[in-house]
Each structure stands twice: as C-alpha cells, then as structure tokens.
A and B are shown apart, each in its own frame.
Chain A
Amino acid sequence: MIRSLFALALALLCFACSPSAGAPAPSPAPSRPELARAVVTTIAEAVKLADAGCSAVAAAARDVATAEACAAAYKVAREALLVAERGVDAWDSGDRKGVVCGVVQGAAALAQMADALRAHDVTLPPLVVDALKLPALLGGVCS
C-alpha cells in the first residue's frame, strides 16, 4: 500500500515537472492545403487593394513613376501567386516549394507596393498589413 502511494506520488511529481505539463497542446504544423490556399487568396486580395491605392495616389499626384512601380510589382505578385495556387491545387503531388516560394515572392512584391503607398503618406489598410505577415505561416523561406 505504501509502495503504491509512493509510486503514485512519484508519477504525479514527474508529470508536474514535465515541460509540457499544463501547456496547451501544440497546434498542428501549418502545412495543410486549406491554410496555404487561404494565404494565397488573402495575399491576392491585398495585392488588388494595394493596386487600387497605388492607382488612386498616382493619378491624384500625376506620378507616373509610382504607377509604373506598382504595375511592375503587381505583375510579379500575380505570376507568383498563380504558381502558388497551382501548387495548392496539386497539393498531393508534394510540390511545397512552389507554394512557399510563390507566397514569399508574392508577399515581397506586395511589400514594394506598400512602400510606394507609404511614400505618399498613405496608411496601409489592415488587409495589406496582415497579408504581409502571412508567409511566416508557411515557413516564410523560399530555398
């Protein structure tokens, strides 16, 4: 009896000392296709919004350079996100690199559009701010 109680106390002590004791279960790795698709689509929506902003400020300031810079970044973002989307559609083929690189490159192009907007003292919409953080959900590194 005493031996059983001692064993139980030891087991409880070990559980309490465990690094994971009381901690929430770790969230599943963000490698699911539905998450990747949400990231791709959200960044695409942010690029569309940034493009509209760029167009408006460029037209108001008659700033051809800003319009051209945003148009170039838009093209890069669009192509990258199309590649990423194809990778998500063919998720089972295992081409995760195409998805991650497409997302990272798309977000980098979005960042260029965001810089162009900031240069005109435009406050970035929350959608753009949030979208710029999304590549981290997929690892954030294209290698």
Chain B
Amino acid sequence: MNAPDVLEEVGLGLIRAAAAAGGDAIVSWLRGAVAASPDHPLSRRVAEILPAESESERTARALRGG
C-alpha cells in the first residue's frame, strides 16, 4: 500500500469513526468543506454558465477577420 492509499484510508477511517460515534455534525462539516473547495464541481456554477470566451468575443473576432 503506497502513501496516498494510506492517507485515503486514514481519511475514510476518520469519517467512518465520526459517523459511528454519531458525529453527524462532523461528517456534515467534512462534506461541506469538500463542496466549498474551489476545485469542486459544485463550486463552479458561474464558470459553467459563463465560459471564458464570450459569444461577443467570437463575433468580434469573426467580424474583424471577415
């Protein structure tokens, strides 16, 4: 078992232990912390709605090129 696997096991073990101990609040907090991460898909709603390149930008480029 390599180091990342060990860390994952430890992390999962902590969550399982918290859940087993009735620590719903801790589990909820851990899930919230993951969801609030900037890299988590749930935190990318604006980026999904507004891609980096706008339609206006593509149109401007096409008009300049044409």
| A contact residues vs B (CB 8 Å cutoff) | 40-41, 44-45, 47-48, 51-52, 54-55, 58-59, 62-64, 66-68, 70-71, 74-75, 77-78, 81-82, 84-86, 89-90
Contacts and interface: CB of A to CB of B under 8 A. Distances in A.
A52 B43 CA distance: 24
15 contacts: A41-B45, A47-B50, A48-B49, A55-B55, A63-B63, A64-B60, A67-B59, A70-B54, A71-B54, A74-B57, A77-B50, A78-B50, A85-B45, A89-B35, A89-B43
A52 B63 contact: no
Contacts of A75: 54
B63 A51 contact: no
Contacts of A68: 56, 60
Nearest to B48: A44
B65 to A, nearest CB: 10
Given A44-B46, A58-B59, A81-B50, 4 more contacts: A68-B56, A71-B60, A85-B45, A85-B46
Nearest to A85: B46
Nearest to A44: B49
Contacts of A81: 46, 50
Nearest to A61: B63
B46 A40 contact: yes
Contact of B60 (A45, A67, A89): A67
Interface in B15-38: 35-36, 38
A86 B38 contact: yes
B63 A62 contact: yes
A131 B52 CA distance: 21
A117 to B, nearest CB: 11
